[in-house]
Structure 1
């Protein structure tokens, strides 16, 4: 009996990622045997690229390893364009950005990070959601080539979810803290990586995107702002503060002010005050009062 009993592949519109994105959900029912299935239903993304996936299971030391690989090729309508794809999966804690899509033949299978499953002999239905974004791009610049480079990177930004390869020179150019660290015999210098506790792999990717490409994300700005302050990356800090303040609403105002106070970021508090003239501050006050009542109730219960 094959390890993968049932396989289905569906695509859904993902408005948060934009019209160029397709959310792919692979649903597999796996048993405690090794096996493999190739998904022969490639999905088209914005008439730019075709992407197909391959799922497999493997028994290692009494555990089932579930892995996903993907391959891509350009759509015929985009044969003369520079096309790249982004592949993301929270379950696999995987984020591969700016993958070049070949013109004719399918690219080599690229494996995502394996996912540990249950002990052998047990049936475990698993649904893996993967967001694939295809987009046109201009001819690569030196910086974009360095961003996608993996052969000559000499350092890694690490977290419990994985690590992101970078170049020491870029770290030092953006941060005096990194420069001092890499110029001396610190532990991080000898191991070739620095571990950032409590940081997601997505935040590290955002940090790398800013250093190499100068882009700032729409989401995940708070943890990125904390990294910028910790490592004295002033330009990134200012970008994050401005973007948070520009997008503040009555619902998010109190939460952002609390975040600014808890992390001693007076610049953010000031920016929020400046930007709150045209939003419903009364709504934020109601949330603040409601939180105070809940905190008081929790305190009374703990004392009883």
Structure 2
């Protein structure tokens, strides 16, 4: 039976510090969330535009970015019950851009958090990580360390 002292956090995070692993996890989370939304994996609501196109989304992300969606999903509304939100004053091209922006902002925030945790010791690992995930800001910051 394993005891608490038997856990080796370095092995769990492939020899990175807890802070580095947490930051990497945030960036991966943001990227994965955007990719999952696009692939309609575990989405919990659908946005409908005035030209009939449907966009899968996550209520929690919409609510975190918009007071309107936050109120809509927290009160007794048809949208909360059905998970379908009809947006009559926006077309699919515009909504697509808005959703891409929301999810890109999440990714950018994660990338900036990683850059803030850069040290001389982790710069090479961060540079490789950024290069593999096309994180230009982090890649530039890591290369300067």
TM-score by length of structure 1 reads 0.23
Structure showing the higher helix proportion among its residues = 2
More strand per residue: 1 or 2? 1
Of structures 1 and 2, the larger Rg is shown by: 1
More contact order relative to length (CA 8 Å, sep ≥ 6): 2
